[in-house]
Amino acid sequence: MSATNQQRAEEWFNRADHDLLVAESSLRAPRIAAGVVCHLCQQCAEKYLKGFLTSHTTPFRRTHDLTALLLTRVSLDGALNAVQYAANALTVYAFAGRYPDVPGQFPTVIRAQQTLAHPRAIRTAVRASLKLA
């Protein structure tokens, strides 16, 4: 990975880590906005996948569809296939819970707590693939 690609990927990862930090912190608040937590989880995973593609100089279209982003990288690292379920589960939260006219159930606090496992799994898989601490 070139220095420029590495730097751009790290920018994606830093922003993703901030999304995850806010999601985790929000779950400790007296009032929990479960839909926002789920959206931040989706955003974290999206940024990790886009950072991964950036590190490999692989172009990607502007999308919130994590499954599509995973398909873009299939040839880059088969080990990331293990996070396919997480990507599928998170994609809906790009919009669900944010807009009243988007079909789907508004996430509960329990769902938000469970959803945190998905961006963590994607983060771990991407960082392991790129041999990052």
Tens-place pLDDT, residues 6-31:
999 999 999 999 999 999 999 999 99
Which range marks the domain in which residue 112 is found? 3-129
For position 43, which CATH number holds? 1.20.120.330
- In whole angstroms, what is the distance from residue 115 CA to residue 38 CA? 6
What torsion, rounded to 10 degrees, do the Cα atoms 95, 23, 82, 98 define?
Answer: -10
Helix, strand, or coil here: 80?
Answer: helix
| CA 129 remoteness from chain centre | 15
Q: List all residues 6 or more positions away from 118 whose beta carbon is below 8 Å from its beta carbon.
A: 41, 45, 83, 86, 87, 89, 90
pLDDT for res 116: 97
Number of domains in the chain: 1
How much is the average pLDDT of 72-78?
A: 69
The two counts, helices (H) then strands (E), for the chain are 6, 0
Confidence of residue 80 (pLDDT cuts 50, 70, 90): confident
**Least trusted range by pLDDT, from 6-15, 62-71, 75-84:** 75-84
